[in-house]
Amino acid sequence: MRNGIKGIRRVSAVAVTAGAVLTAGAFTAPAQAAAPKTPTIAAKGGFVMNNGTGKTLFTKAADTRRSTGSTTKIMTARVVLAQSNLNLDSKVTVQKAYSDYIVDNNWASSAKLIVGDKVTVRQLLYGLMLPSGCDAAYALADKFGSGSTRAARVKSFIGKMNSTAKSLGMTNTHFDSFDGIGRGANYSTPRDLTKLASNAMKYSTFRTVVKTKSTTQKVTTKSGGYRNMSWTNTNALLGSYSGTLGVKTGSGPEAKYCLVFAATRGGKTVIGTVLASSSVTNRTADAKKLMDYSFKK
């Protein structure tokens, strides 16, 4: 009998212990993943959103107006792509005024267009967005503005840039140039530029161009022959950050170093902007930090 009693006691003890474990488990919440730490960036302004939902994921002085440098060219491309009956294969003859403009403006980056060459609108978009050609921007403004003189056409094109900004709800944006070399009234914000880039990415040609790391394009020379133009993208995220979709770099004495960026991972697309970062290296590092953070949110 004594052995039987010991067995009963042992079973009871096991049952009580198991019950205690089950009871404790019922009141223990499952472990939660720690919220990602908000990153510190060198840029004076930044903004990131979920491109699918529009949800804000990060802000830093997101509505403070700043000089935008060549991120302005996103709007240049957007205005061109919105033209009715746009023929991307129509040809534009490179004028001396475009190359003179590069010489006259020390901060003007160039697609190295050659006077007399005939380049297509599509090629000009590559020259605009990859090497950030201010000569390509000038050619597009001259082509798609309205007026009997080049000055009138450029003014008209910049007017289209501003009317487009207004239609997109970019309330803290104004353009006074086709390329970001402003005359004192060319500004935007991280939030507005992100909004613009998100809209521009709806155009398949824009998506194709800004995702291109480098390209070689055959253009027609003045004499009717051909030459190859090679352009490399200034966006260091391409090839260095998995899932990068684009979008555009910018720099200038006042703008410092800017970057509008977008990437997709795991079916989630994030898009954002950093303005007035401290160097080329830091604007890229800022963007990577913000995207890493945003993909975890």
Residues 6+ apart with CB under 8 A from 139: 92, 94, 95, 98, 113, 119, 124
Active-site residue, from 60, 73, 195, 289: 73
Residue type, 23: T
What the block records as the tokens of 85 is: 């009956």
Assess whether 163 carries a catalytic annotation.
no
What the block records as the tokens of 67 is: 């000089």
Assess whether 268 carries a catalytic annotation.
no
CA atoms within 13 A on the CB side of 108: 24
Q: Find tokens 């450029």 and name the residue.
A: 154
Q: Is 122 exposed, middle or buried (0-12, 13-18, 19+ CB in 10 A)?
A: middle
Neighbouring CB atoms inside 10 A of 218's CB total 11
CB 57 within 8 A of CB 270: yes
Active-site residue, from 132, 177, 188, 277: 132
Strands (E), 42-198: 45-50, 56-60, 91-93, 118-120
Active-site residue, from 70, 109, 110, 198: 70
> Distance (Å, rounded) from C-alpha 118 to C-alpha 240?
34
296 is in an annotated binding site: no
Distance (Å) of CA 246 to CA 81, 152, 197? 17, 32, 10
Assess whether 109 carries a catalytic annotation.
no
Numbered residues of the known binding site = 248
Annotated binding site for substrate: 248
Active-site residue list: 70, 73, 132
